[in-house]
Chain A
Amino acid sequence: MIRGIKFATPLVALALLLAACSGDAATPTPSPTATPTRPAPTPTPAPPEKLSVMTTVYPLAYFVERVGGDLVEVENLVKPGVDAHDFEPTAEDIQRVSGADLLVANGLALEPWMGRMLEALGDDAPSDVIEAARVIIESGALGEEDEDEGHDEDEGEEEEEDHGDEEGEEEEDHGDEGEGEEGEDHGEELDPHVWLDPTYAVLQAEAIRDALATIDSANRELYHDNAAALIADLRTLHDEFTSGLASCRHDTFITSHAAYGYLAARYGLEQEGIAGLTTAAQPSPQRLAEIVEEVKADGLGYVLVEPIVGDRLAQTGRTRPHSRHRERDAERVRRARRLHGADAGQPRQPQACPGVCFVTNSSANGAVLEWDRVTFHYGVGLAVDDVSLRVEAGEFAAVLGPNGSGKSTLIKLALGILRPTGGAVRLFGQGIDGFSDWVRVGYVPQVVSAVWSGFPATVTETVAHGAYRGTSPLAIFRRSERPDVLAALEAVNMTHVKSKRLSELSLGQQQRVLLARALVRNPELLVLDEPAASVDVSGEEQLYTVLRDLNRDRGLTIVLVSHDIGAMLREASTVCCMNCSLVKHGPPHELTSDELSALYGLPVDALIHDALHEHR
Chain B
Amino acid sequence: MPAILQYEFMIRALIGGMLVGILAPALGMFIVLRRFSLIAETLSHVALMGVAIGMATRTLPSLTALAAASIGAIIVEQLRSRGRLPGDVAMAVVLYTALAVAVVVISFAEGFNVDLFSFLFGSILSVSLLDLWLLAGLAAVVVVFVGVFFVDLAQIAFDDDLARVNGVPVGALNLALAVLTGAVITLSMRVVGVLLVGAMLVVPVLVGLRVAKGLRATFAASIAAGAFSAIAGLVAAFYLDLAAGGATVLTAILLLVLANIWVQLRKAAASFRKV
Contact = CB atoms under 8 A, between A and B. Distances in A.
Interface of A: 24, 79-83, 86-87, 90, 279-280, 282-289, 292, 307-310, 312-313, 315-317, 319-320, 342, 412, 415-417, 436, 438-439, 441, 443, 445, 448-450, 452-458, 461-462, 465-466, 468-476, 499, 501, 521
Nearest to A517: B162
Given A416-B165, A456-B208, A457-B154, 7 more contacts: A284-B237, A307-B111, A308-B112, A312-B123, A448-B158, A450-B159, A456-B217
A296 to B, nearest CB: 10
A468 B154 CA distance: 11
B213 A412 contact: no
Contacts of A292: 7, 9
The winner among B34, B125, B155 for most chain A CB atoms within 10 A is B125
Contacts of B216: 461, 476
A8 B9 CA distance: 30
A502 to B, nearest CB: 9
Interface in B183-221: 208-209, 212-218
B99 to A, nearest CB: 16
Contacts of B32: 453
Contacts of A313: 123, 125-126
B165 A415 contact: yes
The winner among A285, A319, A471, A474 for most chain B CB atoms within 10 A is A285
Nearest to A438: B167
A315 B8 CA distance: 11
Nearest to A460: B214
Contact of B3 (A279, A289, A476): A289
A449 B87 CA distance: 14
A246 B220 CA distance: 63
A441 B33 contact: no
B158 A81 contact: no
The winner among A286, A310, A456, A466 for most chain B CB atoms within 10 A is A456
A470 B7 CA distance: 48
A521 B115 CA distance: 55
Contacts of A441: 165
Contacts of A452: 35
Given A438-B165, A453-B33, A471 B241 contact: no
Interface of B: 3, 7-10, 13, 32-35, 107, 110-115, 117-118, 121, 123, 125-126, 128, 146-152, 154-155, 157-162, 164-169, 208-209, 212-218, 234, 237-238, 241-244
A436 B164 CA distance: 10
Contact of A416 (B7, B126, B154, B164): B164
Given A309-B115, A458-B213, A474-B147, A315 B110 contact: no
B33 A471 contact: no
Contact of A285 (B115, B208, B237): B237
Contact of A448 (B3, B8, B162, B212): B162
B111 to A, nearest CB: 2
A454 B209 CA distance: 8
Nearest to B12: A316
A302 B251 CA distance: 36
Given A282-B121, A415-B161, A468 B111 contact: no
A476 B150 contact: yes
A449 B159 contact: yes
Contact of B107 (A90, A285, A443, A474): A90
A417 B234 CA distance: 47
B189 to A, nearest CB: 14
Contacts of A521: 166
Contacts of B10: 285, 289
Contacts of A285: 10, 13, 125, 234, 237-238, 241, 244
A79 B110 contact: yes
A86 to B, nearest CB: 5
A80 B165 contact: no
Contacts of A471: 148-149, 151-152, 168-169
B151 A316 contact: no
B267 to A, nearest CB: 12
B201 to A, nearest CB: 15
A169 B222 CA distance: 58
A283 to B, nearest CB: 7
A456 B218 contact: yes
B213 A501 contact: yes
B158 A457 contact: yes
A319 B8 contact: yes
Contact of A308 (B3, B111, B154): B111
Nearest to A443: B165
Contacts of A473: 147-148
A282 B165 contact: no
Given A90-B107, A310-B115, A465-B154, A288 B160 contact: no
A315 B166 contact: no
Nearest to A457: B215
A416 B170 CA distance: 12
A80 B111 CA distance: 6
Contacts of A282: 117-118, 121, 123, 125, 243
Contacts of B114: 83, 86, 279-280, 308-310
Nearest to A287: B241
Contact of B165 (A417, A449, A458, A462): A417
Contacts of B110: 79-82
A295 to B, nearest CB: 11
B245 to A, nearest CB: 9
A505 to B, nearest CB: 13
B214 A315 contact: no
A416 B253 CA distance: 42
A449 B158 contact: yes
A289 B7 contact: yes
Considering the complex of A and B, which 3 residue pairs feature the smallest CB-CB distances, nearest first?
A81-B111, A438-B167, A476-B150
A312 B126 contact: yes
19 contacts: A81-B111, A90-B107, A282-B121, A282-B123, A284-B237, A285-B234, A289-B7, A289-B10, A310-B114, A312-B126, A315-B128, A439-B167, A449-B34, A450-B33, A454-B209, A457-B158, A461-B216, A468-B151, A471-B152
A468 B166 contact: yes
Given A80-B111, A445-B162, A470-B167, A476 B151 contact: yes
A461 B214 contact: yes
Contacts of A462: 158
Contact of A468 (B112, B168, B241): B168
